[in-house]
């Protein structure tokens, strides 16, 4: 078994190399690391919180169940329960300069979708540990991360904060993130539960989604985070099937707590609940940010929506019970006890010495997560070539905005990075003439988008951007496009004309060094897409998500426009998200999930299953050989998909159920070993409300991209 569903001991994957008994090849396996072990178990923390609660007045209890001063939850001083400081987020700490006692600087790591593109969750854990250490240095008790909403549509303004389109890949990163953060003593918050897959009018979106899709696509990453020991969960802005997530008993109590087994603290996203009675009886514990009225007429017009100011009235009117308030307050107190915050101060400035190490981890992640999409042979570029660089993000660092924004320090711009790598052979010209374009050996064109929460961005690039690229490609056949963006963009207008395309996502404060090294060949690219990039937006599963009569906007204003009616977003594609959609509908994306080029080549051979039959009580070993048969050292991401050719329900053509990034020197081979368990063959059966694998034939597919399956074997699943 590879991930924690039935036993805690088998949750995590990491590389371990053993010598094979019969051959000389290294065996590279998926293996395990331990989930976060709380300082005090949830049950013990709750019991202790209960004794504390008994000494508090009703006002003191109510004071605990809503936030204070925008980013704080109240503590109980006499019992050493600290006032909790909460901070964003997954790609590093967003420093709130307006608050006192803040860190002077925080590391801007590559964004989460780039972390996902490394296909190396161990690196994600290292980033999380680093972020946790910076939290400790800055006195941050609760990190409002990791974010893990699935990439349903390329236009989602927040895709950069998440880990792509596949639940399995996302889950492996999330469990590592949670362990990395919490082992430093900082609380991790899984967000946003649930189905916040677009930013377009996120507060007025009603997501219509079926139960099977919820379980197969939208909850597995949360399940992985819960199994890894995450202590907090944040609900989302949107409604789910007619109810706001943060007010929904189905979402919080039935699904999150009872079905997924989450025991810890549930908080709301900032101004996302409107009915205090519903909120308090849904299973919610903490309304954030509490009673700070921001200067927004639409929110003010919502009236007195806050839990704290309404709790006493609701109690008097018997609309809520004191046990509701107790449950909420108890969870807030228990949160600190579980991670031992009553025992030590969170702030520990000795962690400031770790920053240089964090920079190294950021750089390594960028090296592994930048994706070489296209290369007609122009790359790598030798250092004697005359390079012209131009475009949007040469002098400034492209990054995601909103609550996840991180300024960073020691910023390496693209210009500096390429100067360091190519010296005087690099020329930066803002608006090159055709003659200048034609004269260069190589032209690098930087383009992209600055994505943000609060609004979505168009998939199509502005006409001027496309024209600029096309003109460069016309003048110079060695035009390479470098893209910085939080998700897929439309490349069809010039994809065939350019010589190379590199997807840089948001590389973080020093990731441009990785980019320049990939261009020069000093670093061999090994990133793979954690998303499919469609040819045109209407090809994609959510391609028609904008309700009739609406259009995209920018800025945060319309996001707060609560007077307007709700907008239904129907997830009618069901479980067919990402490559599951393109495969099943036989629509070719421009670049497929899992795709990414290297400067070396790899051969896959010798696929073997430990048995031809698999029983419900059995796991199965899958092994195959990988050889670096090219001319340079490099890493390949081996990917294992399962396929159920015959099923009583619609199943995707293939589903990722294993992967391993493997570094091999040129000429070297290794045996890769993965383990499959019956759950990997299953779908969520809504009639029995459980996971079900149907007896019969399954295919095991192994390759290096979802559209490049190289090896195939079959097995028979026997239910009993
Ligand atoms: C975001 C959350 C974030 C919160 C606090 C909200 O706008 O949706 O992800 O944690 O703000 O900054």
Ligand 1 atom nearest residue 196's Cα: 8
Contact by Cβ (8 Å): 219, 73: no
Q: Cα of 192 to ligand 1 centre, how many Å?
A: 9
User: Which amino acid residue places its CA nearest to atom 3 of ligand 1?
Assistant: 403
pLDDT of the residue at 21: 41
Q: Cα of 67 to ligand 1 centre, how many Å?
A: 13
| Number of alpha carbons in the 13 Å side-chain half-sphere of residue 590 | 19
Q: Cα of 112 to ligand 1 centre, how many Å?
A: 16
pLDDT of the residue at 690: 96
pLDDT higher than threshold 50 for residue 14:
no
Contact by Cβ (8 Å): 366, 111: no
User: Which amino acid residue places its CA nearest to atom 10 of ligand 1?
Assistant: 144
Q: Cα of 270 to ligand 1 centre, how many Å?
A: 6
Q: Cα of 116 to ligand 1 centre, how many Å?
A: 21
Ligand 1 atom nearest residue 147's Cα: 9
Contact by Cβ (8 Å): 64, 74: yes
Which of 397, 539, 477, 426 has the alpha carbon at shortest distance from 111? Answer: 397
d(CA 370, CA 707): 19
| Beta pairing partners, 681 | none
Question: pLDDT tens for residues 440-485?
Answer: 999 999 999 999 999 999 999 999 999 999 999 999 999 999 999 9
Band the pLDDT of 18: cuts 50, 70, 90. Answer: very low
Ligand 1 atom nearest residue 145's Cα: 10
Contact by Cβ (8 Å): 82, 335: no
Ligand 1 atom nearest residue 402's Cα: 7
d(CA 373, CA 350): 42
Band the pLDDT of 113: cuts 50, 70, 90. Answer: very high
Contact by Cβ (8 Å): 363, 369: no
Ligand 1 atom nearest residue 94's Cα: 12
Q: Which residues of 47-73 are buried (b: 16+ CB within 10 A; e: fewer)?
A: ebbeebbeebeeeebbbbbbbbeebbb
Q: Cα of 124 to ligand 1 centre, how many Å?
A: 21
Contact by Cβ (8 Å): 639, 706: yes
Q: Cα of 629 to ligand 1 centre, how many Å?
A: 47
User: Which amino acid residue places its CA nearest to atom 2 of ligand 1?
Assistant: 269
Ligand 1 atom nearest residue 86's Cα: 5
Contact by Cβ (8 Å): 482, 504: yes
Band the pLDDT of 24: cuts 50, 70, 90. Answer: confident
Write the DSSP string, 188-244.
EEEEEETT----TTGGGEEEE--HHHIIIIISHHHHHHHHTT--EEEE-SSEETTEE
Q: Cα of 83 to ligand 1 centre, how many Å?
A: 19
Q: Which helix (H) or strand (E) holds 293?
A: none
User: Which amino acid residue places its CA nearest to atom 4 of ligand 1?
Assistant: 270
Asked which of 508-517, 611-620, 662-671 is least confident by mean pLDDT, the reply is 611-620
Which of 632, 665, 389, 619 has the alpha carbon at shortest distance from 516? Answer: 389
pTM of the prediction? Answer: 0.96
Q: Cα of 162 to ligand 1 centre, how many Å?
A: 14
User: Which amino acid residue places its CA nearest to atom 8 of ligand 1?
Assistant: 269
pLDDT of the residue at 29: 83
Q: Cα of 342 to ligand 1 centre, how many Å?
A: 26
| Strand-strand pairing, 16-19 and 26-29 | antiparallel
Q: Cα of 404 to ligand 1 centre, how many Å?
A: 8
Ligand 1 atom nearest residue 289's Cα: 5
Q: Cα of 78 to ligand 1 centre, how many Å?
A: 30
Residues in the chain: 720
Ligand 1 atom nearest residue 71's Cα: 5
Band the pLDDT of 31: cuts 50, 70, 90. Answer: low
Whose structure tokens read 């202790």?
A: 48
pLDDT of the residue at 38: 97
Ligand 1 pocket test: pick from 270, 273, 289 the residue with the most ligand atoms within 8 Å of its Cβ.
Answer: 270
Ligand 1 pocket test: pick from 89, 193, 245, 403 the residue with the most ligand atoms within 8 Å of its Cβ.
Answer: 403
pLDDT higher than threshold 70 for residue 310:
yes
Residue 270, Cα to own-chain centre: how many angstroms?
Answer: 20
Q: Cα of 580 to ligand 1 centre, how many Å?
A: 30
| Beta pairing partners, 696 | 717
Ligand 1 atom nearest residue 189's Cα: 10
d(CA 366, CA 109): 9
Which of 484, 485, 413, 471 has the alpha carbon at shortest distance from 443? Answer: 471
Q: Cα of 178 to ligand 1 centre, how many Å?
A: 18
Percentage with pLDDT > 90 across the chain: 91
d(CA 4, CA 2): 7
Contact by Cβ (8 Å): 426, 440: no
d(CA 256, CA 222): 9
Ligand 1 atom nearest residue 191's Cα: 9
pLDDT higher than threshold 50 for residue 10:
no
pLDDT of the residue at 4: 46
Averaged over 50-71, what is the pLDDT? 97
Averaged over 396-421, what is the pLDDT? 97
pLDDT of the residue at 640: 98
Ligand 1 pocket test: pick from 269, 296, 560 the residue with the most ligand atoms within 8 Å of its Cβ.
Answer: 269
User: Which amino acid residue places its CA nearest to atom 6 of ligand 1?
Assistant: 270
Q: Give Cα separations from 552 to 155, 401, 459, 545 (angstroms).
A: 10, 17, 11, 11
| Number of alpha carbons in the 13 Å side-chain half-sphere of residue 272 | 31
Q: Cα of 269 to ligand 1 centre, how many Å?
A: 6
Averaged over 184-197, what is the pLDDT? 98
Ligand 1 atom nearest residue 88's Cα: 10
pLDDT higher than threshold 90 for residue 560:
no
Ligand 1 pocket test: pick from 67, 71, 89 the residue with the most ligand atoms within 8 Å of its Cβ.
Answer: 89
Residues having CB closer than 6 A to ligand 1 are 88-89, 144, 191, 269-270, 403, 453
Q: Cα of 556 to ligand 1 centre, how many Å?
A: 13
pLDDT higher than threshold 60 for residue 20:
no
Ligand 1 atom nearest residue 192's Cα: 9
Quick one: three-class SS letters along 46-107? HHHHHHHHCCCCHHHHHHHCECECCCEECCEHHHCECCEEEECCCCCCCCCCCCCCCCCCCC
pLDDT of the residue at 19: 38
Q: Which helix (H) or strand (E) holds 649?
A: none
pLDDT of the residue at 301: 81
708 Cβ neighbours under 8 A, 6+ residues apart: 592, 594, 595
Write the DSSP string, 539-597.
GSTTTT-SPTT-----SSGGGG-TTSPPEEEE-TTTT--THHHHHHHT---SB-TT---
Question: pLDDT tens for residues 249-307?
Answer: 999 999 999 999 999 999 999 999 999 999 999 999 999 999 876 677 877 888 788 99
Averaged over 580-609, what is the pLDDT? 98
Q: Cα of 359 to ligand 1 centre, how many Å?
A: 25
Ligand 1 atom nearest residue 237's Cα: 8
Task: State the chain's mean pLDDT as an integer.
Answer: 95
Q: Cα of 291 to ligand 1 centre, how many Å?
A: 16
Question: pLDDT tens for residues 503-539?
Answer: 999 999 999 999 999 999 999 999 999 999 999 999 9
pLDDT higher than threshold 80 for residue 33:
no
d(CA 550, CA 155): 14
pLDDT higher than threshold 70 for residue 9:
no
pLDDT higher than threshold 90 for residue 561:
no
Contact by Cβ (8 Å): 159, 455: no
pLDDT of the residue at 16: 37
pLDDT of the residue at 293: 65
User: Which amino acid residue places its CA nearest to atom 12 of ligand 1?
Assistant: 403
Q: Which helix (H) or strand (E) holds 677?
A: none
Question: pLDDT tens for residues 321-356?
Answer: 999 999 999 999 999 999 999 999 999 999 999 999
CA dihedral 283, 288, 290, 295 (to 10 degrees): -140
Q: Which residues of 153-183 are buried (b: 16+ CB within 10 A; e: fewer)?
A: bbbbbbbbbbbbbbbbbbbbbbbbbbbbbbb
pLDDT of the residue at 5: 38
pLDDT of the residue at 23: 60
Averaged over 138-167, what is the pLDDT? 98
Question: pLDDT tens for residues 494-508?
Answer: 999 999 999 999 999
């Amino acid at each position: 078994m590879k991930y924690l569903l039935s036993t805690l001991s088998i949750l995590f994957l990491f590389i371990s190399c053993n010598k094979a008994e019969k051959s000389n090849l290294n065996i590279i396996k998926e293996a395990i690391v331990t989930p976060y072990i709380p300082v005090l178990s949830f049950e013990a923390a709750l019991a202790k919180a209960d004794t504390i609660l008994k000494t508090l007045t009703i006002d003191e209890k109510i004071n605990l169940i809503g936030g204070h001063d925008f980013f704080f939850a109240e503590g109980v001083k006499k019992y050493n329960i600290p006032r909790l400081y909460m901070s964003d987020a997954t790609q590093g700490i967003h420093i709130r300069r307006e608050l006192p006692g803040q860190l002077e600087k925080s590391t801007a790591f590559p964004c989460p979708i780039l972390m996902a593109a490394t296909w190396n969750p161990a690196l994600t854990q290292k980033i999380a540990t680093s972020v946790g250490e910076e939290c400790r240095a800055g006195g941050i008790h609760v990190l409002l991360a990791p974010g893990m909403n699935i990439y349903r549509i390329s236009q989602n303004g927040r895709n950069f904060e998440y880990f792509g389109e596949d639940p399995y890949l996302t889950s492996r990163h999330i469990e590592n993130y949670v362990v990395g953060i919490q082992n430093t003593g900082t609380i991790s918050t899984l967000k946003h539960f649930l189905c916040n897959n677009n930013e377009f009018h996120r507060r007025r979106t009603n997501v219509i989604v079926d139960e099977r899709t919820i379980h197969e696509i939208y909850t597995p990453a949360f399940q992985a985070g819960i199994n890894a020991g995450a202590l907090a969960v944040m609900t989302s802005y949107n409604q789910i099937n007619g109810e706001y997530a943060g007010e929904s008993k189905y979402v919080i109590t039935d699904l999150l707590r009872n079905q997924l087994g989450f025991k810890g603290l549930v908080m709301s996203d900032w101004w996302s609940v409107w009915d205090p009675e519903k909120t308090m009886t849904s299973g919610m514990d903490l309304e954030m940010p509490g009673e700070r009225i921001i200067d927004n007429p639409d929110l003010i017009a919502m009236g007195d929506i806050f839990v704290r100011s309404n709790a006493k009235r609701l109690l008097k009117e018997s609309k809520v019970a004191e046990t509701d308030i107790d449950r909420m307050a108890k969870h807030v107190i228990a949160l600190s006890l579980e991670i031992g915050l009553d025992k030590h101060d969170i702030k520990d400035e000795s962690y400031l010495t770790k920053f240089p190490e964090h920079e190294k981890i950021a750089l390594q992640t960028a090296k592994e997560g930048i994706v070489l999409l296209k290369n007609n042979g122009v790359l790598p570029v030798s250092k004697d070539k005359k390079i012209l660089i131009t475009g949007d993000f040469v002098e400034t660092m492209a990054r995601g905005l909103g609550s996840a924004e991180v300024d960073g320090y020691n910023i390496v711009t693209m210009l500096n990075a390429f100067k360091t790598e190519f010296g005087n052979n690099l020329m930066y010209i803002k608006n090159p003439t055709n003659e200048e374009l034609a004269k260069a050996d190589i032209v690098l064109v930087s383009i992209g988008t600055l994505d943000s929460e609060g609004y979505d961005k168009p998939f199509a690039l502005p006409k001027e951007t496309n024209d600029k690229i096309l003109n460069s490609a016309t003048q110079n056949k060695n035009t390479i496009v470098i893209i910085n963006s939080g998700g897929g963009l439309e490349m069809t207008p010039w994809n065939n004309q350019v010589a190379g395309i590199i997807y840089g996502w948001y590389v973080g404060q020093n990731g441009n060094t990785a980019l320049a090294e990939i261009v020069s060949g000093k670093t061999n690219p090994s990133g793979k897409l954690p998303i499919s990039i469609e040819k045109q937006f209407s090809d994609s599963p959510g391609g028609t998500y904008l309700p009739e009569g609406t259009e995209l906007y920018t800025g945060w204003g319309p996001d707060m426009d609560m007077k307007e009616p709700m907008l239904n977003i129907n997830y009618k594609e069901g479980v067919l998200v990402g490559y599951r959609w393109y495969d099943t509908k036989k629509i070719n994306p421009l670049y497929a999930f899992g795709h990414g080029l290297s400067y070396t080549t790899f051969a896959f051979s010798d696929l073997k299953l430990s048995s031809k039959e698999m029983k419900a009580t059995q796991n199965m070993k899958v092994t195959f050989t990988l050889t670096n048969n090219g001319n340079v050292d490099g890493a390949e991401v081996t990917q294992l998909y399962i396929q159920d050719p015959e099923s009583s329900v619609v199943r995707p053509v293939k589903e990722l159920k294993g992967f391993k990034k493997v570094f091999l020197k040129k000429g070297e081979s290794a045996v890769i070993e993965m383990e499959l368990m019956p759950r990997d063959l299953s779908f969520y059966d809504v009639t029995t409300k459980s996971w079900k694998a149907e007896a019969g034939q399954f295919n095991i597919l192994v390759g290096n991209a979802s559209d490049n399956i190289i090896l195939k074997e079959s097995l028979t699943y026997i239910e009993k």
